[in-house]
Amino acid sequence: MPPSPKSRPKRPWQEVAQEAQEYRDASMKDYDTRLPEPLEGNMPKSVMTVPGSLLADESLQITELLPEELVSLLASGQLTSVTVTEAFLRRAALAQKLANCVTELLPERALARARFLDDHYTQYKRPIGPLHGLPISVKEHIGMDGLRVHCGYVSWWYKIGKEDAHVLEILWNAGAVFHARTTEPQSMMHLETDSNLYGVTVNPYNRDVTSGGSSGGEGALIALRGSCLGIGSDVGGSIRNPAANNGIYGFKPTAFRIPTDGWGYAMAGADTIDSVLGPLSTSLSGIKLFMKAVLDAKPWLTEPAIVPIPWDSGRVITDSQPLKIAVMWHDGVVKPHPPVTRALSLVVEKLRSLPNVTVVDWKPHVHDEAWAIISNLYYPDGGEEDAEAIDSSGEPWRPLTNWIIKENPCVKELTRGELNYWLEEREAYRKEYANVWTATATGRNPHSGDLEGMVDIILCPVGPGVAPEHGTAKYWCYTSQWNLLNYPAVVFPVSKVDASVDVKDRAYKPKKGVDKDNWDLYDPAIFDGLPVSLQLVGRRYEDEKVLAILEHIKEKIGLPFAKFP
């Protein structure tokens, strides 16, 4: 174990970063896949097809299975845990070379666990739990016993986890195998994943654009099938944004449903805006598998902050059940780029053809005020702890860290009175929004007195565009809006950018400020072929309903409309 920070002489940050990268590379040495000479130093813009040309057939077949398929094959003994784990270790190591998305591979731990699970199956002829043998990747700041928890700060490189995070304990008991840890940005507060420890994580569909953040390592790794199910965190879009950018599924649960004990980040313990843990996956069933496994363990018994609501696996939407879906085309502040609007139009056209579905427009309720509230509450200490974590090592501030803290006019140390004011504003805004939603009801049931005809779900963009170029993701409000309200939201892939169709509307005159900044970013030639995803948002604690509605409309309208690997 390294010496304590107090007894250790200060080192240049570049030396620490070099050590971090050498440590990561050493963890992968037994699973290295040599890139062909034409690729070395000359990587193509899209690397999505590279694994198919380099990995053995068995590894490809295993790693392209969905999580629900894997758990079935593992539970029946048709696949061994060791075979599956080795396949994902190899593909994750390759994904790291292609997208720079992994902080360390865990071969010794993972294979020891896999062998134990195989021995259990041989002896008892049954799986140890619902996730028996399933490899799961983990965002680095989620603590693991005996491993570093640096959260993207150079000065935190020597922080060592003293126990597994609560969610990891639960997944372990359910039979999971943790095989990889993934990258996050400096400060954890980017819709980008870049740090001075590891550099920039890129989007495997187009290395010139971002994989998103702050769970961008998970997004890229899962898109490249180095994992089929991973754990991220979300306080402003950090699960949903990477899921959208990489064409996978991501779910932000209502706060206090998934346990968070044992993670690391600056200002841990502050609850001005609740951050959550949640899953990213290659399938919607993978999202549900994660939620059920965690909540079936009754985490509220040992983590009292968790609300004691068991997972309702029986929640389904039938053809006879009326659904009212509200579409938010625009948040009233920043107009989405053409591919996003086209994806919304495609989905809405299909939804209107369903006999049990009513589609209405959603009028956003002062979303510009929501950003003022949430950005004041992100850093009630004025960013002091983050600044200390960055400046103490001498590492430079990454541009997006500088933007969210130093260039953000809402970031200042709040007095007790100011903090109380913004907390009151938060609660008042939540109440206003709840009333706006409730007002969509068309009447009351004469027998039960329940409101009827209310909007069930909001369909909306995940962001104002698809994955943007590096360093330009500065508009959070299509995701942070729902963090402020503490609403559950799921992201799903729909289509891909088509430069010949998604042309820029030259007649549109954007408003000054963030709308113009965003509109100026759009170039169909740059974004051609990138995933286009959308978001479904439900009311607080309606997590199961959100996923059930997505499952229903996926089946009925044939989502996604494009092929995703």
The string of pLDDT tens digits covering residues 461-475 is 999 999 999 999 999
Listed in sequence order, the residues at least 6 apart from 245 whose beta carbon sits closer than 8 Å to its beta carbon are: 203, 209, 210, 211, 212, 216, 219, 466, 467, 530, 531, 533
Q: What pLDDT was estimated at residue 69?
A: 98
DSSP state of 7: G
Distance CA(438)–CA(489), nearest Å, equals 18
Q: What pLDDT was estimated at residue 429?
A: 98
Residue 170: pLDDT band by 50, 70, 90 thresholds? very high
Q: What pLDDT was estimated at residue 8?
A: 54
Does 214 belong to an annotated binding site?
yes
Does 237 belong to an annotated binding site?
yes
Flag whether pLDDT at 10 surpasses 90.
Answer: no
Q: Is 431 a catalytic residue?
A: no
Does the domain at 323-557 match CATH 3.20.20.70? Answer given as no
The string of pLDDT tens digits covering residues 399-454 is 999 999 999 999 999 999 999 999 999 999 999 999 999 999 999 988 888 899 99
Strand order in the sheet with 489-496: 102-105, 177-182, 135-139, 229-234, 276-281, 249-252, 489-496, 531-537, 457-461, 323-327, 357-361
Q: Is 375 a catalytic residue?
A: no
Residue 134: pLDDT band by 50, 70, 90 thresholds? very high
Flag whether pLDDT at 498 surpasses 60.
Answer: yes
Q: What pLDDT was estimated at residue 267?
A: 62
Bridge partner list, 427: none
Q: What pLDDT was estimated at residue 183?
A: 98
Residue 565: pLDDT band by 50, 70, 90 thresholds? confident
Does 332 belong to an annotated binding site?
no
Sole residue written with tokens 């099938």: 225
Q: What pLDDT was estimated at residue 5?
A: 47
- What CATH architecture is 21-301? Alpha-Beta Complex (3.90)
Q: What pLDDT was estimated at residue 40?
A: 81
Q: Is 288 a catalytic residue?
A: no
Does 436 belong to an annotated binding site?
no
Residues 556/39, Cβ–Cβ less than 8 Å:
no
Flag whether pLDDT at 182 surpasses 90.
Answer: yes
From the list 137, 238, 375, 533, the catalytic residue is 238
Distance CA(438)–CA(427), nearest Å, equals 16
From the list 27, 59, 139, 495, the catalytic residue is 139
Sole residue written with tokens 């030639």: 525
The string of pLDDT tens digits covering residues 66-107 is 999 999 999 999 999 999 999 999 999 999 999 999 999 999
Q: What pLDDT was estimated at residue 299?
A: 98
Sole residue written with tokens 């490809």: 60
The string of pLDDT tens digits covering residues 352-410 is 999 999 999 999 999 999 999 999 999 999 999 999 999 999 999 999 999 999 999 99
Does 465 belong to an annotated binding site?
no
The string of pLDDT tens digits covering residues 199-219 is 999 999 999 999 999 999 999
Q: Where are the domains of the chain?
A: 21-301, 323-557
Domain 21-301 shares a fold with domain 323-557? yes
Q: What is the mean pLDDT of residues 261-280?
A: 84
- In this prediction, what percent of the chain has a pLDDT beyond 70? 98
3-class SS of residue 136? strand
Flag whether pLDDT at 4 surpasses 70.
Answer: no
The whole-angstrom distance between residue 479's C-alpha and the CA centroid of its chain comes to: 11
Flag whether pLDDT at 1 surpasses 60.
Answer: no
Does 236 belong to an annotated binding site?
yes
From the list 214, 215, 275, 281, the catalytic residue is 214
